Structure 1
Amino acid sequence: MKILSIQSAVAYGHVGNSAAVFPLQRIGVEVLPVYTVNFSNHTGYGAWRGPLISPDDVRDVITGIEERGVLGQIDVVLSGYQGGEGIGDVIIDAVARVKAANPDAVYACDPVMGNAKSGCFVAPAIPVLLRERVVPVADIITPNQFELGFLTGTEPDTIESTLASADAARAMGPRTVLITSVERPDREPDTIEMMVVDDSGAWIVQTPLLPFKANGSGDVAAALFTAHYRGTGDAAEALARTTSSVYDLLRTTHESGQRELQLVESQEFYAHPRMQFEVTRVR
């Protein structure tokens, strides 16, 4: 499998491609990373250095890949955080070029906008761009609960309302929706859930909620789920594998006392997920 991953990069820590590439490689996926920013660290620190890469330069890198004649070998285009609205046009164009070369290729979009605690943390134009232009051309999207609500104009909180919101998102274009954080009022205390919905049904999985925030875990989840789903075509299996790997990555990070994801230290959990959580069909 080959994945063209168009995302940010940081030198210190693990977000964007700096979070997604190694776990994908560890499960045997060939990754072609294209960077949209090249920062010293993620912006959660409040200070960082390094350039935003211009849309023209990002497009130029993709054109160079195309000139090597490899777009027909790409199975998946994956995108995450978009630093500026011009990058959206580049991604949409890249998806069109890849699908022209390989009609079986799919586009997986992680519509990064924010979360319930922090609100939106991207430029004001980005959520509108994602909703109106990027998500409609995606095959797979991996929003958190907050992002799903914004995309669909709904308020997902129960299983039923989250399913309805996922269906509303699927009506926009993507056939598969992975909701990476489902926090419903009637769940067991100190737990969090992930849900996936596709044409064949809907499944949910529950894990302990670890008491800390780790930047980049959503990027890892989006990457691993996309690869597992593309490889197996089985949403429940992909959800189980992804949940197991990401939970153990977060557990390892929490136990380390470090702020940044312990991405390398957790590598066996990507290659050999423990499959310790039960996936339940909800539709």
Structure 2
Amino acid sequence: MALVSERVLSIQSHVVFGYVGGKAAVFPLQLLGYDVDVVNTVNFSNHAGYGYSGGSKTTAAELNAIFETMEHNELLMPTRLLTGYIPGAEALTAVERLACRVKHARPNLVYLLDPVMGDAGRLYVAPDVIPVYREMLPLATIITPNWFEVETLTDIKLDNMDSLHNALKILHIQYRVPHVVISSIPLKSWLAEALPSTIRPPKEPSDYLLCIASSFPPKDSFTNGHSLHQPHSTIHAQCVPLIPGYFSGVGDLFSALLLAHFHPDETPETLHATPLSAAVSQALSKTHAVLVMTQAIANSLPEEERLPSDDELDKLNPLRKIRRMRGRELALIRGQDLIRGIGITHVREMMLWDGFWGDK
């Protein structure tokens, strides 16, 4: 559980129905003992996976007015900052300025920046947010990009181990991010073959995703862009079985749980663990448990609410897709004990990837 004095400022999307963005993050943070102040970057009826949504985006002027009033009233006092989906560059710049202010006021603030830009090779934000995110990276304590977002931030296509090495170096050294968690990488053959036996999955690699946690030495150990203590980051990784079907809000839940469990000043009990890998282990285990419960609930629904994806049939009858989406919203309320850690029978421990860097 968090200390009573811990307070999170969460800046991300809001939907009326379902669990993505803040709706997937705030409740878990509160369950784990955090006070949460919430700023909505959009106010939509539902997530875009339904095919149609209504609502509005919060403008940069509106965000600035909220931040300035909170500051004036001495209400801007987070110990942790969480930012997620912000669709445009002007609004993102307003959030960047806010992040600078709160970091200046509280240098030890833990800032988890989730650079929500796209997935599976496709951007779903305006392209002009990319350079703003790059400017924001040095402010972050932890970032949680997926593989496509890593490629977007670093301009490196992840297709072999050298490219993965180079992308992590750019994020750690050029952008000075201490902790990088690549939340989900498809386990292609080049990646599976590089995994040590302690991490390699027992079955077909394509049935798994890989989560990688990379911790670099503290920023005060840098000189001229290089570390004084070790040449590379410490890498932990773990494979997670793919669960069939489409889910939304998974990354938002994972990032919130990671922030909740990250305690940089505590020494983990597990051998070879770091504060980051210990937090990722908890976030990964709880997120997967909630997904398993969500899948079980979806499979128990009436047949018309669990019909398989079919673009042509979905176009002819939009309610077909809507019913399917509705049945696959994250089971956060029914799974709240899992979020607290009750009933988690297996912790997916992040394993040290010894030899990740080789001779590089």
Relative to the length of structure 2, the TM-score reads: 0.73
Could you say which residue in structure 1 is the equivalent of 2:270? none
Asked whether the 8 Å contact 1:158–1:184 carries over to 2, the reply is no
Asked whether the 8 Å contact 2:282–2:348 carries over to 1, the reply is no
Deviation, 1:134, is 2.3
- Among 286, 296, 299, the residue aligned to 1:245: 286
1:260 is the counterpart of 2:326: no
Could you say which residue in structure 1 is the equivalent of 2:183? 180
Could you say which residue in structure 2 is the equivalent of 1:83? 87
Asked whether the 8 Å contact 2:187–2:208 carries over to 1, the reply is no
Asked whether the 8 Å contact 2:264–2:276 carries over to 1, the reply is no
Could you say which residue in structure 2 is the equivalent of 1:211? 244
Question: How many residues are paired up?
Answer: 280
Q: CA RMSD in A?
A: 1.9
**CA–CA distance in 2 between the matches of 1:16 and 1:228?**
18
Percent of aligned positions that are identical: 32
Deviation, 1:123, is 1.4
Deviation, 1:104, is 1.2
**CA–CA distance in 2 between the matches of 1:249 and 1:240?**
14
**CA–CA distance in 2 between the matches of 1:232 and 1:22?**
25
Counterpart amino acid of residue 145 in structure 2: P
Could you say which residue in structure 2 is the equivalent of 1:199? 216
Secondary structure class of the residue paired with 1:249: helix
Could you say which residue in structure 2 is the equivalent of 1:9? 14
Deviation, 1:185, is 1.8
Question: Larger C-alpha radius of gyration, 1 or 2?
Answer: 2
**CA–CA distance in 1 between the matches of 2:100 and 2:349?**
37
Could you say which residue in structure 2 is the equivalent of 1:68? 73
Deviation, 1:65, is 2.1
Secondary structure class of the residue paired with 1:51: strand
Secondary structure class of the residue paired with 1:154: coil
Secondary structure class of the residue paired with 1:237: helix
1:126 is the counterpart of 2:118: no
**CA–CA distance in 2 between the matches of 1:79 and 1:169?**
18
Greater CA drift, 119-128 or 20-29: 119-128
Counting only pairs closer than 5 Å after superposition, residues 107-186 of structure 1 correspond to structure 2 as 107-116=111-120, 119-131=122-134, 133-157=135-159, 161-171=163-173, 172-186=175-189
Could you say which residue in structure 2 is the equivalent of 1:25? 30
Q: Deviation string for 1:82-107 (max 9, x for gaps)?
A: 12211111111111221232121132
1:269 is the counterpart of 2:338: yes
Gaps of 5+ in 1: none
Asked whether the 8 Å contact 2:93–2:132 carries over to 1, the reply is no
**CA–CA distance in 1 between the matches of 2:169 and 2:75?**
34
Call closer, same or farther: CA 1:113–1:125 in 2, change over 3 Å. Answer: same
**CA–CA distance in 2 between the matches of 1:120 and 1:77?**
24
Gaps of 5+ in 2: 1-5, 193-200, 218-233, 267-274, 299-326, 355-360
Asked whether the 8 Å contact 2:58–2:91 carries over to 1, the reply is no
Call closer, same or farther: CA 1:232–1:22 in 2, change over 3 Å. Answer: farther
Call closer, same or farther: CA 1:280–1:158 in 2, change over 3 Å. Answer: farther
**CA–CA distance in 2 between the matches of 1:245 and 1:280?**
17
Q: Deviation string for 1:41-96 (max 9, x for gaps)?
A: 1122221111111111112112222233243x411211111122111111111112
Deviation, 1:160, is 6.0
